[in-house]
Amino acid sequence: MKRALVAGGAGFIGSHLCDRLTEEGMSVICVDNLYTGRKENIEHLMGDPSFRFIEHDIRKPLSIDADCIYNLACPASPKHYQKDPIMTAQTNTLGVMNMLELAKANDARILQASTSEVYGDPVKHPQPEEYRGNVNPTGIRACYDEGKRMAETLFFDYHREYGTDIRVIRIFNTYGPRMNPEDGRVVSNFIVQAIKGDDITIYGDGSQTRSFCYVDDLIDGMRMMMDTDGTTGPVNLGNPEEIRILDLAKKITEMTGSTSEIIYFPLPCDDPSKRRPSIYKAWEQLGWKPAVDLDEGLKKTIGYFNTVLKRSEL
């Protein structure tokens, strides 16, 4: 049985990846320090003999047998990664080196979950992998943006120096069930506010754009990337359908039947004005493109949050 290690496996995306890997018949080791990951995301897997959970911070070395490694360990929402920026930077440097050392020791293939934030506030649109970005190295987002850029650097240096079998993906905005209701991300914020009838908060004037990929599509892309020979990446994984934040708020309000009002706050420092992936490489090299449209994905996500919020009221 192939052994897969998923660092950050109790998180939103990581837990969906653990599901997929166990469904495919792999032995899965989920490693998470539970800083933003939640045990409830993997509770349903705890009784599965092919699944194992280890509470561990990857900033400390780990010795374990694995055939393939997925590194998703890092807080991903500004609210959480800015809470402890030094920890975030260390996770993307010391933690990444520990995962690369583990891959080297096991002669394992390793995938790094990088991010569209390596492009910063882009002056090139949409963003292809060749674009080197527009990042503020001293701003409040740098612990994450520059941290992920450094993580990519380490991956490619290990590949050149030691022949480590690497894969690097750049994840664009992803949403779906198991998002933390309090993580501060735009989709979860809007849905929770709409269901509760609270004011929907938009930062800036709402003209900034994002592209939203449903989590199942992302997991498909991650699995294809890991299993495709002859490509290291980086490869963008995201949905190229672009939408204004104001239009997203209106759509979610309509889909939930909410009477919430939209209110506006100042735009946070270095918040990107636009975000849309070029997925030409993903299609050419992996045969991947997203299949779930925004309305379908939002319907599933709203259903999840309805259940979670009702449960919390009991």
Cis peptide bond prior to 234, omega within 30° of 0? yes
Burial zone of 202 (CB within 10 Å; 0-12 exposed, 13-18 middle, 19+ buried): buried
3-state SS track over 214-277: EHHHHHHHHHHHHHCCCCCCCEEECCCCEEEHHHHHHHHHHHHCCCCCEEEECCCCCCCCCCCE
Residue 144 among the catalytic residues: yes
Q: Which residue is catalytic, options 35, 144, 175, 214?
A: 144
> Which residue blocks in the chain are alpha helix, DSSP H?
12-23, 78-81, 85-90, 96-106, 142-162, 186-196, 215-227, 245-256, 280-281, 294-313
Cα–Cα distances (Å) from 218 to 33, 100, 177, 214, in that order, read 23, 23, 13, 7
Distance, in Å, from the CA atom of 129 to the CA atom of 157, rounded to the nearest integer, reads 18
Distance, in Å, from the CA atom of 181 to the CA atom of 188, rounded to the nearest integer, reads 6
Q: Are strands 109-115 and 68-71 parallel, antiparallel or unpaired?
A: parallel
Catalytic positions are 144
